Amino acid sequence: AQKVTQAQTEISVVEKEDVTLDCVYETRDTTYYLFWYKQPPSGELVFLIRRNSFDEQNEISGRYSWNFQKSTSSFNFTITASQVVDSAVYFCALSEAPLRTGTASKLTFGTGTRLQVTL
């Protein structure tokens, strides 16, 4: 069975601080995908990143960066120079690889980390 653990339930930082959101996962699959989503107060999930289990290269996108460590089954997310607009709940998620092209796999979500960025 797949499992995603986000041990940090709530984090509060002051604007411009860096913050790292932790994500640890469990799966027996050799091929899988990891995701991060942002859920602002409006409720709509915003896709941030998808990472293939074979691609351990870290990724940076603007103020966002992701550190994928297969050896520790972790996929941590860092926001640099946080802003008030970053305040939201962030979910890490895991899916197995689709059985065939064109199909989709269900996502297993972590419990989310609520990030509050204050002035």
Partner 1 sequence: GAVVSQHPSRVICKSGTSVKIECRSLDFQATTMFWYRQFPKQSLMLMATSNEGSKATYEQGVEKDKFLINHASLTLSTLTVTSAHPEDSSFYICSARDSGRGVGKQFFGPGTRLTVL
State the residues that interact with partner 1 by CB under 8 A.
Answer: 33, 35, 37, 42-45, 47, 50, 91, 97-98, 101-104, 106-112, 114
Cβ-based nearer residue to partner 1, 39 or 80: 39
Strand pairing category for 32-39 and 46-52: antiparallel
Query: Shortest approach of partner 1 to residue 95 CB, angstroms?
Result: 8
Query: Shortest approach of partner 1 to residue 15 CB, angstroms?
Result: 24
- Both tokens of 32, joined, read 């899988």
Query: Shortest approach of partner 1 to residue 29 CB, angstroms?
Result: 14
Cβ-based nearer residue to partner 1, 15 or 107: 107
Torsion, CA 15, CA 7, CA 67, CA 49, rounded to 10: -80
Cβ-based nearer residue to partner 1, 17 or 22: 22
**Contact (Cβ atoms closer than 8 angstroms) between residue 14 and residue 118:** yes
**3-state DSSP call for residue 80?**
coil
Query: Shortest approach of partner 1 to residue 81 CB, angstroms?
Result: 26
Cα separation, 4 vs 37, in Å, equals 13
Cβ-based nearer residue to partner 1, 80 or 105: 105
Cα separation, 17 vs 99, in Å, equals 42
